[in-house]
Structure 1
Amino acid sequence: MQCPCNPTQLYKNCCEKAHTDIRTVETAEELMRSRYSAFVLANIDYLQKSHYSKTRPSKREKKEIEDWTNSVHWVKLAIVDTIDGLKTDTKGVVEFKAFFMEDKQVIILHEKSNFCKENGHWVYVDGSN
């Protein structure tokens, strides 16, 4: 299976590693890519695990996210820019565009996501459009 975050890579050689063990994620961009793949695959447990504890969605919101991600068709991910977020950093920003189909319309989610390290691994904090 091709990886949702990068169709030139196999899932088993790309995001599956992160989905199996979040501590293998070395950069904020890697976490961003693994979260996109988790949305595509409706891996809601990983989305929760990779979310900063203070901004993590509630159980009700988790169910809403699962329902929504299963209702759309994911098309592709494009990384626009990264600021910091390297292996030795503790914070980083990843700007991306996620393309998906909803109600027969292509929608582009354009976000600047903030990441930080929590408990020794990268997590998603929040984002802005």
Structure 2
Amino acid sequence: MPRVDRPRCGAVVTMVPWAEPGSRFTRDSESECTWLMSVANRKTVSGFLHVAWRTAGDIVRRVADRLRAAMPSPFDGLAAIGVDTARATRIRPWSDARTPRASSTVHGGSRNRCACSGSPSTGPGES
């Protein structure tokens, strides 16, 4: 990391676009470590990259947190989920998930479709 020697502050580490704050590794090396952890175990990755196995785990955790912060959740802003059980009968083996009554928006569930997987559902006597 580049350091700047300031008269008042002393030695200060400068911000660079290719490194995360508080990390000793570049974003590219953290991405490489994370990819390797997806195909090999922690001990193998730590030996390959010459880092401690705890460091490899910390890198993966840091990358996952960074990705989680950048990616919005589909459940952000959701107040409540209810299931319309009146429609889940023997004749209609599917159900609808609904948001609170104020909006009455239907999320999932349609005729001959399973609300959880989107695959065609089979009712009683159907195959």
TM range (shorter): under 0.3
Which is higher, the Rg of structure 1 or of structure 2?
A: 2
> Relative contact order: is structure 1 or structure 2 higher (C-alpha 8 Å, sep ≥ 6)?
1
| TM-score normalized with structure 2 length | 0.24
